[in-house]
Chain A
């Protein structure tokens, strides 16, 4: 059974800190992995998409890595800001239309 797990479930950090969010998946036959941000009561905003042939993607202060062999992806946020406070979700694509979401990490960056 394909599963996607995110640890930790919640995280509070002081402003300016660099942090890492983790995403694990059980099936190494992953097509791609996508990281999203969700603000309370809102939809999902795509942050980064990593194809199975790639090892990492970067956008501004965000860097996402993908290690298929170990079944892990990380989202690195540099110099965190209060505006980064949100829930971060990862989703793995395991088939043409099969996307499985993790349970998310609720991040709070304290000013």
Chain B
């Protein structure tokens, strides 16, 4: 299947700093990328949907100014957690849909574990 890479896999930061997480589709072009947040032993919560070259669509309750999403190319989307606080500590996972691929199959990155001290 298609490969989605996320970086970094783990990040620890101090409260008040900003952290950027990258999501790359390695062997395909992704029209749409999705960012999810996962709490311990919980399912995935969709945060936002990003389309290349346009503004991301955020789910209800997700702060646009705190979670900045940029989808600058067909292979890269970034999530920046601004002014991070301990409650932002979580597992963030991205997924991507392949350009022109009709099945709608989702491919996921390995996830990024954010710990805010």
Contacts and interface: CB of A to CB of B under 8 A. Distances in A.
Contact of B106 (A41, A42, A99): A99
A91 B93 CA distance: 15
> Which of under 10, 10 to 19, 20 to 34, or 35 or more describes the interface residues of A?
20 to 34
B6 A46 contact: no
Contacts of B49: 97
Contacts of A99: 34, 46, 106
B32 A34 contact: no
> Which of under 10, 10 to 19, 20 to 34, or 35 or more describes the interface residues of B?
20 to 34
Contact of A41 (B43, B107, B109, B111): B111
B43 A34 contact: no
Contacts of A46: 1, 105-108
Interface string B27-48: 0000010100000011110100
A46 B44 CA distance: 14
Most buried by B among A41, A43, A49: A43
Given A42-B110, A43-B6, A43-B110, A32 B104 contact: yes
